[in-house]
Amino acid sequence: MVLIPGWAWRGGAFRRAVSIGLPVGVLCGALVLAESGSWVGAALVAMILSPFYGIRVARRISRAWPGARDLDSADRMAVVRATRRGEDIGHARLAHAVLDYGSALRAARERDRLFPWMLLICVGLSVALALSDTFTGSTREAMVSWLVVAFFLVELTWWPSGQSHVMSNAERAETSAREVLRPNTPGE
């Protein structure tokens, strides 16, 4: 949830599922096409993976931040944008939503603390597969396998820094939201 792009919160659950699942399905379908040359295989992967992944992630992030249902699309996007950028929300009525979304981000980060280790295992397995394809497969298979290794390595290096950046911004936004909610006392 932490690194799901903010624009994925635009619209309802169906739109979230499509905006998250479709790019993943198309990318994996393109990898199948590049490796096998099969348009049918690529289409099947895209048609099966897109809804499966999109629905799964959309449900997961909706459960992580149930307060999103109480906001219309514009307010939800304002809360997500301000929290992810570390900005002041500017509206007292949305300050609680910023705190709620920030809490959901922290909970998601805690839940996903094993992700880097799983990613490291995937890097190791993809390197083994790429080496095998290099020595026993076709040139096309080897190229795609090494491309997958590169994707995993980018994810492995980008994920922690991206997550830390979003979380530090969320902390700043939450601090601003608390300031907005703090009652003005005489003499301040």
DSSP letter assigned to residue 37: -
Report the Cα–Cα distance between both ends of the chain, in Å, rounded: 38
pLDDT over 70 at 187, yes or no = no
Top-confidence residue, 76 or 2: 76
| Percentage of residues of the chain with pLDDT beyond 70 | 97
CA separation for the pair 160, 173 (Å, rounded): 20
Instruction: Tell me the per-residue pLDDT of 159-177, one tens digit each, with 9 for 90 and over.
Output: 888 889 999 999 999 999 9
pTM reported for the whole predicted model = 0.79
Could you tell me the pLDDT band of residue 111, with boundaries at 50, 70 and 90? confident
**Max Cα–Cα distance, the chain, nearest Å:** 78
* 3-class secondary-structure state, position 184: coil
Round the CA-based radius of gyration of the chain to a whole number and report it.
Answer: 20
Q: How confident is the model at residue 184, as a pLDDT?
A: 54
Tokens coding 141: 């298979």
Instruction: Tell me the per-residue pLDDT of 37-74, one tens digit each, with 9 for 90 and over.
Output: 899 999 999 999 999 999 999 999 889 999 989 999 88
CA separation for the pair 105, 178 (Å, rounded): 17
Query: Tell me, what amino acid is at 2?
Result: V
Query: Tell me, what amino acid is at 124?
Result: G
CA separation for the pair 35, 30 (Å, rounded): 9
CA-closest candidate to residue 4, choices 113, 74, 109: 109
Top-confidence residue, 46 or 8: 46
